[in-house]
Amino acid sequence: MTDRAELMDVYRQWWAHDGYWYQGVAKRFGQEVANEINAEALRQVAQQVGRGVTRRRGELPDRDGMAELRRRYDECGERMFPRELRSAGTEVVDGDTVELTVRRSFALAMLRMAGTLDGYECPCTDIHAGWSEGLGVTLTENRATACLRSGDSACRLVMRVEEMGR
């Protein structure tokens, strides 16, 4: 399968599976349990994605490390949520902080269409923690400052990293 459209169809099928799975867990065991399991599973997947990026790119360099880390977060995002399914990007702010901005999220759009957005807790910080672990960096701050789910125009997520090279 080399065609990008075919690959996107595979992504969409797995995301549909994920959505049905989440809804089934929420229906049988409650939304709190579904949110908890969803966050745990996504953190593990994110960690694997981060490790894969590290294997391909090597260890983070001391020089220009934050710019390279920002690029790696973008690569992690693209590998988990391709550009056809979301609109997002990162930038380095304050020298030790990467801010991720998500302008469009396929997952939230699907939850909204299914009428099940109420009670859903975004697992974003768990995903970013997993990416960071896989990339070999420690976060000293990992929080959302804005969220599409709550009506903001974009999700803004702050990832402050412990001094690199320690």
Could you report the per-residue pLDDT of 92-147, keeping only the tens digit for each?
A: 998 899 999 999 988 888 778 777 788 899 999 999 999 999 999 999 999 999 99
State which residues form the domain around 148. Answer: 4-161
Element (H, E) at 155: strand 155-161
Residue 166 lies in a domain: no
Residue 28 lies in a domain: yes
Rounded to two decimals, what is the model's pTM? Answer: 0.89
Whole-angstrom Cα distance, residue 79 to residue 55? 14
Average of per-residue pLDDT across 41-62? 93
Whole-angstrom Cα distance, residue 79 to residue 74? 9
Q: 3-class SS at 103?
A: strand
Whole-angstrom Cα distance, residue 106 to residue 157? 17
In this structure, what CATH number is given to the domain that contains residue 8?
3.30.1380.20
Confidence of residue 165 (pLDDT cuts 50, 70, 90): low
What's residue 110's pLDDT? 79
Query: How many domains are there within the chain?
Result: 1
Model pLDDT for residues 57-94, shown as the tens digit of each residue: 998 887 678 999 999 999 999 999 888 888 999 999 98
Element (H, E) at 35: helix 31-57
